[in-house]
Structure 1
Amino acid sequence: MSIKHEEWMAEHGFSYENEEVKQTRYQIFKDNVQHIERHNQEGKHTYKLGINKFADLTNEEFLAKYARGSVPSFKAPSSNQSSFEYKDMKDVPPSLDWRDHNAVTPIKSQGQCGCCWAFAAVAAIEGIEAIRSGKLTQLSEQHIIDCNEERKGCYRGRTDHAYEFVRKNRGLASDIDYPYTATQGVCANNKPSSLSSKITGFSCVPSSNETALLAAVSNQPVSVNIDPKLLHLYQSGVLTGDCGINLDLHHIVTIVGYGVSENGVDFWLVKNSWGLGWGEDGYVRVQRNIDAKEGMCGIAMFACYPNV
């Protein structure tokens, strides 16, 4: 196991400040690997766990670091919050992957900055921009982090604030013109906008309604809040089980599709912002159509999308 830990450290470029810290981390790593092996050997789960870059963190440490970047949104109405225009949709495709329609940019990594809210909003904006214009452009999370009025930066934020910034700013810079730094910097709001469509505001999906969420996702990528408790060591498959709906621990991601697994489990296809080395090349499939109205991990509770 110690050799495996050394190999893992080398793979991820990790080092520790002293031998005592290393031994503490090694014990956590060892416990996690044993948990992963037990889970995968049980043979009763619809998803597998794996050794990823979070493998030397306890689940509590993981949540403290990576579930601090969001605040449940839309508890109060906004003057620029539009009505839900997809409520009368009856026929939606049985499956959809917006990646197949050139509406999803490559997976990114937010690093140590708790700004999942900005990444989720940008992914949704990139999606509707590509759907409307036919042009897929990587847009700048950093522009939102540095310049939005709320200035939450790396310490919790809301996707509606991100959408509002883009609306008021009348555009958003590209990732090339305003690259990501994983810290909150000085606003440089003099970059040209890379949007060909105008973001006019945002809409909320009716809370705890997966049918309404499906209608929205069938038209464009949608940002959602989820409880990340089970995401720590997720590797592949459809996430099922007791996930929880802890609003204090919510993480924000973007639904970019849906479908049915080879085992017949309905799922949401979710784009995350933890890099390619996590999950299914940066994605997680989350069970869809569960008995709880809030959805798996609370995925149906707080969902929104930008309007053009």
Structure 2
Amino acid sequence: MASKSQSHCVLILLLILTIWTSGTMSSRKLQETSTSLSERHEQWMAKYGKVYKDAAEKAKRFEIFKNNVEFIESFNSAATKPYKLGVNQFADQTSEEFRAIRNGLKRSSHGSSLRTMSKTETTSFKYENVTALPASMDWRKKGAVTPVKDQGQCGSCWAFSTIAATEGIHQLTTGQLVSLSEQELVDCDTKGVDQGCEGGYMEDGFEFIIKNGGITCEQNYPYTATDDKCNTNKEASHVAQIKGYEKVPVNSEQALQKAVANQPVSVSIDAGDGSFQFYSSGVFTGECGTQLDHGVTAIGYGVTDDGIDYWLVKNSWGTEWGEEGYVRMKRNIDAKEGLCGIAMDASYPTA
């Protein structure tokens, strides 16, 4: 029979073996996870054509990618929200970097309650007395929305929102859906708040189109995602005009619904919540505030099968983001400003 001391030694050896095995497995698991993420980063780079200037930059971007992937997977596994996140083309950018590049809304004097009203803006809200509203609206189905575009590494969201609303009213007025030129606004609308890739404001974009006598099409003046010199010859070739614009009454989702039921509307939102960068599907209910920093276009609204009211919003980050470039944002929330401040600063062109 084995002595007590021998049994004790065997137990210690078993304990040491268990700890060593567990540690080895954990180490191997961490190594496999790291390897897996490294492989995923390489695959992601290939998919989106990412090339870094050197090894140091690649290592830095991998760390950001890894942190973002972990955030996305942790969020999705919690399954407490009615929307999902996805590893998209922005996965190697921090939220600060992303906002600095993509969110170029500048409200300035036009976004202030103290601003001077322009000659081409009216104080009226022509949809004020509209009472019969459809239960849902999707201007894509009515032919008033062009395909989703991509502003690229340029803070020109304001120009895309201005143009989308103008494309909408032009189609409703003429029956012709024409893709208009954001680049004309980026290059030529630079005497005031609007400063191309450095940001701008939709109402100032409407002002430019009105004073210029119209705007040209995208085919004539294509988008380059850079600040270039204004091509006055192309600028003079007008294919669409607007007569003026109106503001939607502030802090009223009901008023915004009246407007969106009748035409696509430019809206300002706070897109600073980290989850907005990686939004993939569902009804967005993120932890955003009311620091308006991004211009988008409300092109509809509806209710999900499980009863969630939402706004249908066209973004300008390409079709790889969100629901093929669109986001559904929760509608009719308790806060009067609406989710992400969507009801705080909305306007639409008139023709």
Give the whole-Å Cα distance in 2 for the aligned partners of 1:161 and 1:114.
Answer: 15
- The alpha-carbon deviation at position 45 of structure 1 amounts to 0.8
- Name the SS for the 1:203 alignment partner: strand
Matched, 1:90 2:131: yes
Matched, 1:80 2:129: no
Q: Is the 8 A contact 1:71 1:156 kept in 2?
A: no
Q: Is the 8 A contact 1:69 1:154 kept in 2?
A: no
Deviates more, 1:186-195 or 1:230-239: 186-195
Deviates more, 1:78-87 or 1:296-305: 78-87
Give the whole-Å Cα distance in 1 for the aligned partners of 2:249 and 2:327.
Answer: 23
Alignment-mate amino acid for residue 204 of structure 2? H
The answer for unaligned runs of 5 or more in structure 1 is: none
Matches within 5 A, 1:22-33: 22-33=58-69
Calculate the aligned-residue CA RMSD, in Å.
1.2
Give the whole-Å Cα distance in 1 for the aligned partners of 2:104 and 2:329.
Answer: 21
Matched, 1:194 2:235: no
Q: Is the 8 A contact 2:104 2:295 kept in 1?
A: no
Query: Could you report, residue by residue, the CA deviation over 1:93-146 in whole angstroms, capped at 9, with x for unpaired residues?
Result: 000000000000001100011111110000000001111111100000111111
Alignment-mate amino acid for residue 182 of structure 2? E
Alignment-mate amino acid for residue 115 of structure 1? S
Matched, 1:240 2:280: no
Q: How many residues align?
A: 304
Aligned residue in 2 for 1:13: 49
Query: Could you report, residue by residue, the CA deviation over 1:5-54 in whole angstroms, capped at 9, with x for unpaired residues?
Result: 00000111111122122111111111111111111111211100000111
Cα distance change on mapping 1:8 and 1:70 into 2, 3 Å = farther
Aligned residue in 2 for 1:301: 344
Matched, 1:118 2:159: yes
Matched, 1:268 2:315: no
- The alpha-carbon deviation at position 242 of structure 1 amounts to 1.8
Deviates more, 1:106-115 or 1:183-192: 183-192
- Name the SS for the 1:254 alignment partner: strand
- The alpha-carbon deviation at position 181 of structure 1 amounts to 1.0
Give the whole-Å Cα distance in 2 for the aligned partners of 1:107 and 1:32.
Answer: 25
Task: Give me the TM-score of the superposition, normalised by structure 1.
Answer: 0.96
Give the whole-Å Cα distance in 2 for the aligned partners of 1:70 and 1:47.
Answer: 28
Matched, 1:256 2:299: yes
Match of 1:104 among 137, 141, 145: 145
Task: Give me the TM-score of the superposition, normalised by structure 2.
Answer: 0.84
Q: Which has the higher helix share?
A: 2
- Name the SS for the 2:232 alignment partner: coil
Where relative contact order (Cα < 8 A, 6+ residues apart) is larger, the structure is: 1
- The alpha-carbon deviation at position 78 of structure 1 amounts to 1.8
Considering only CA atoms, is the larger Rg found in Structure 1 or Structure 2? 2
Aligned residue in 2 for 1:166: 209
Give the whole-Å Cα distance in 2 for the aligned partners of 1:276 and 1:54.
Answer: 13
Aligned residue in 2 for 1:285: 328
Alignment-mate amino acid for residue 293 of structure 1? K
- Name the SS for the 1:94 alignment partner: coil
- The alpha-carbon deviation at position 74 of structure 1 amounts to 3.8
- The alpha-carbon deviation at position 190 of structure 1 amounts to 2.3
Q: Is the 8 A contact 1:70 1:116 kept in 2?
A: no
Aligned residue in 1 for 2:86: 50
Q: Is the 8 A contact 2:267 2:297 kept in 1?
A: yes
Give the whole-Å Cα distance in 1 for the aligned partners of 2:111 and 2:263.
Answer: 19
Q: Is the 8 A contact 1:143 1:189 kept in 2?
A: no
- The alpha-carbon deviation at position 175 of structure 1 amounts to 0.3
Runs of 4+ residues over 3 Å off in structure 1:
none
Q: Is the 8 A contact 1:74 1:204 kept in 2?
A: no
Matched, 1:156 2:204: no
- The alpha-carbon deviation at position 69 of structure 1 amounts to 4.0
Alignment-mate amino acid for residue 306 of structure 1? P
Matched, 1:134 2:175: yes
